[in-house]
Structure 1
């Protein structure tokens, strides 16, 4: 029965996501056409005249009415063709599959870093309200929200690379002395470990540390704040008082009863933070010359590259839908009440 309830929940979420994806396809198509600039003029080159620009526009299909352009775009989507990037001349699907793992690796390590710090800090702050731990949690949250990511990144580069020399040069995913590991997942650290190349794995991890810490300090604030608030609310609940009155060990009350009930809003926050960080890591990628999907989208916007922008928006939408579906699945595993949801 529980398995059938989970299956119905997952199928229902997938069905609900279909209209969202259709709307995103329509909106992204219309918004890209509203971008300033002419991709045909960029593709034709600075020495092109009006006639050659018009020929390029015809070859790209930009001379046709918008409804016909949209129909062609949807037909290409069903064939798995996202078009060709103007700036690189490569298929958009190739650019996205090459750059997306870099952004996912950066965002994943940043979220892991923030969770390692934010969850224990939030729990300690909730169990020791109005102490120095609680004040430290508030200070960290305030600093994480207040400091811009580009400032934090530049400060870390200045201290750990320029002054101390502990960090490698902030120039991409891997130092030029190393070759990229054989592609399995697209994550350099994991692929190097799979290849049993510990030296390359350490080099990739070294390149990843500063940008991941920069983004992690930004994502740390909402996770620590939500953990503290959820734990405070749960610790004041009646069933926690009953558990304490029954003489249960403090550790069991805290982690078995309080944390399990407080983890649900934290999971929701983790999903939102991951989604937001994946879209907001553009500045981090620019500061550290990280070849991710965010920097690719910025370059595409500058030259009004319709195909690249539409591919980026559609990819991000699919990621967000998949992430929300994953959160729903985790909810059914953590909260037994959802197993009987009709």
Structure 2
């Protein structure tokens, strides 16, 4: 297992190096002048040139990149000109909010998509099967920002069931003592039921928005994998041996169908990281997505580069986790590794 982990880490190093190079170059070719933005509309050309010199933007591109890599080697992602804080501090403060929102959306989608996909595979052509196709089509077709705005309109504006979409907590609740950075977990650990209800109410709609977005690929892959496994010889043998339907489906069919589903989770997680940016803006969620958008509008390079690198690291860690999960689901994969 340890050797497999080390091999996967070695293969991800070139990808991370490519992310560093591409993120650096893209921020330099984007339209907008950082020095002119922060100097203000009434600034003179001399003032803009002075700011550009202070930021090191007047130096050759290779020299800028060498300084950036040297700072990365020391764990320094630079300083945000928008907030005036180190990018590592900003990301550390905002990343738990994005992670909590993404995990809530992913868990909600799994709780619905896997049973729905299994039921659709067991009852082909039934209402459940048609419902699975409708849900999958809707999840793919509806833009995530449209889904979020629609949920806000229905549940907040029309029905009044949801709180105002203004962040992680309403104005009458205070954050719980920080342990994990996840308000739901921290409020439970502190025994603060009122804060937990407030945090749950705020995260319900954005989490549901991400869940609807993630439902489609998970449900479709689960249905297709179950159909393939149910037609396999070992499942027919288990049925012929007189095993109960529940044992055949859960123990034999579902466990073997989980491998492509787990593989899909890596792809879905990457989709959710991208969708998070739009969802956070719709619901005023103080996560890294909205932080990166605000920095991008201001032509603030350091936060954008830090955001891209942090997302690449998260995606790498998730892929490593999925590779290790293969061995737990299917011992044959662990033996081959």
| Unaligned ranges ≥5, structure 2 | none
Alignment equivalent of 2:286, drawn from 286, 291, 308? 291
What's the CA shift for 1:204? Answer: 0.3
TM alignment of 1:120-269, pairs within 5 A: 120-269=115-264
What's the CA shift for 1:7? Answer: 1.5
Q: Which residue of 1 aligns with 2:56?
A: 61
> What CA distance in whole angstroms lies between the structure 1 residues aligned with 2:320 and 2:333?
14
What's the CA shift for 1:41? Answer: 1.1
SS at match of 1:281: helix
Q: Report if the CA contact (8 A) 2:326-2:334 is conserved.
A: no
What's the CA shift for 1:340? Answer: 2.1
What's the CA shift for 1:192? Answer: 1.0
Q: Which residue of 2 aligns with 1:3?
A: none
Q: Which residue of 1 aligns with 2:318?
A: 323
Superposed CA RMSD in Å reads 1.0
Q: Report if the CA contact (8 A) 2:109-2:215 is conserved.
A: yes
Counting matched residue pairs gives: 337
Q: Report if the CA contact (8 A) 1:160-1:166 is conserved.
A: yes
Normalising by structure 2, what TM-score? 0.98
What's the CA shift for 1:227? Answer: 0.4
What's the CA shift for 1:46? Answer: 2.0
SS at match of 2:14: helix
**Deviations 1:120-174 (Å, cap 9, x if unpaired)?**
1100000000111111111111111111112211111111111211111110110
Q: Report if the CA contact (8 A) 1:104-1:278 is conserved.
A: no
| Unaligned ranges ≥5, structure 1 | 1-5
> What CA distance in whole angstroms lies between the structure 1 residues aligned with 2:312 and 2:76?
17
Q: Report if the CA contact (8 A) 1:152-1:214 is conserved.
A: yes
Q: Report if the CA contact (8 A) 2:144-2:275 is conserved.
A: no
Q: Which residue of 2 aligns with 1:336?
A: 331
Q: Report if the CA contact (8 A) 1:28-1:310 is conserved.
A: yes
SS at match of 1:171: coil
Of the structure 1 ranges 180-189 and 231-240, higher mean CA displacement relative to structure 2 is found in 180-189
Of the structure 1 ranges 275-284 and 256-265, higher mean CA displacement relative to structure 2 is found in 275-284
Q: Which residue of 1 aligns with 2:35?
A: 40
> What CA distance in whole angstroms lies between the structure 2 residues aligned with 1:162 and 1:31?
40
What's the CA shift for 1:44? Answer: 1.7
> What CA distance in whole angstroms lies between the structure 2 residues aligned with 1:23 and 1:164?
48
**Deviations 1:271-318 (Å, cap 9, x if unpaired)?**
210121012221111111111111111111112111111101110110
Q: Which residue of 1 aligns with 2:273?
A: 278
Which stretches of structure 1, 4 residues or longer, exceed 6 Å deviation after superposition?
A: none
